[in-house]
Structure 1
């Protein structure tokens, strides 16, 4: 079976979002263009890394080519994910690049596959390989995506001040305390 590559050249929306309660959330990326909506499932760390790398790529593009002063931000999209939410695939490999011809950031998300993914498959239209979602974003859209993704990732459980692991509502065993609690002296 040949691979399916979903291409969004002018998406109206490309956002990160979650379903579920903090500590039990599923993370999604969703692309919308006209009547088409594609949602892919991924890990929290993948969302965080994508936002971080996208911000770094935007800085590099601005350094090399100058800032895009004509672009104006519409503001960060805070709307929920479009429903019904049907995942197309779970993301395994991610690719990120700059397309100088269209002045766009290109994001490619490849489905998890049993075979090892050769990097030549990323951002390529070969017939063999895992299904993919390819989205072209203007620098403004990419900045808005990165901002929202960082908000989504940080909206979870607060970190423990000692070990930085997430705090649960029903307690937390902190590795920094090594199972011991500091006790106050007993007064006689």
Structure 2
């Protein structure tokens, strides 16, 4: 079966967002452009890791290639609107790939569909990209050839805006327990650090 590449280079809008209430949220990456909207689901930890690695990518691109980077995203670029409806999941993300294109001074993000043998969370930087590779297995590209993917190309300013929003989305959930790190419910939770007693 042939795979599908949803390419937005650049998108009109690319954001992380959620559907559902805190404690029962589904996380999405959503790209819009050319009359199309593509939404892919992923884990909260993947959104958090993506924001962290994009930050590292921008800093390293500035150091190595002299790219001018915004300290914070301009207010005009900030996007606090909900995800575009309908939010139809194209696929679930298994791997996130990052690269910095020196020729165009743009960040390339690729979300690749989860395969049967994919780990829960994986983020791979392109070998030509400035960030160190988290996964040393260089042969990962071959099995991914038949998997769907979402590819976006962002300016540094748009990348900064994505990072800022992704962090707000991740932090908008339930606060973590200071002892075990698990999310706190309004009525408390069974904390393993308290031998199962409610906090």
TM-score by length of 2: 0.81
Alpha-carbon distance change, 56 to 87 in structure 1, aligned in 2, over 3 angstroms = same
- The answer to whether residue 141 in structure 2 is matched with residue 120 in structure 1 is yes
Q: What's the RMSD between the two structures over aligned residues? A: 2.4
Deviation, 1:116, is 5.8
Secondary structure of 2:175's aligned partner: coil
- The answer to whether residue 86 in structure 2 is matched with residue 58 in structure 1 is no
Secondary structure of 2:146's aligned partner: coil
Alpha-carbon distance change, 69 to 53 in structure 1, aligned in 2, over 3 angstroms = closer
Deviations 1:50-78 (A, max 9, x none): 01000110110111222426998333210
Secondary structure of 1:53's aligned partner: helix
Deviation, 1:173, is 1.3
**In the alignment, which residue of structure 1 is the partner of 2:158?**
141
**In the alignment, which residue of structure 2 is the partner of 1:68?**
68
Alpha-carbon distance change, 8 to 174 in structure 1, aligned in 2, over 3 angstroms = same
Secondary structure of 1:78's aligned partner: coil
Secondary structure of 1:101's aligned partner: coil
Q: How many residues align?
A: 178
- The answer to whether residue 153 in structure 2 is matched with residue 132 in structure 1 is no
Deviation, 1:180, is 5.7
Distance 2:179 2:46 in 1: 25
Distance 2:110 2:163 in 1: 15
**In the alignment, which residue of structure 1 is the partner of 2:130?**
none
**In the alignment, which residue of structure 1 is the partner of 2:122?**
none
Deviation, 1:181, is 8.1
**In the alignment, which residue of structure 2 is the partner of 1:39?**
39
Distance 2:148 2:98 in 1: 16
**In the alignment, which residue of structure 1 is the partner of 2:87?**
85
Distance 1:35 1:121 in 2: 31
**In the alignment, which residue of structure 2 is the partner of 1:165?**
182
Alpha-carbon distance change, 138 to 177 in structure 1, aligned in 2, over 3 angstroms = same
TM-score by length of 1: 0.86
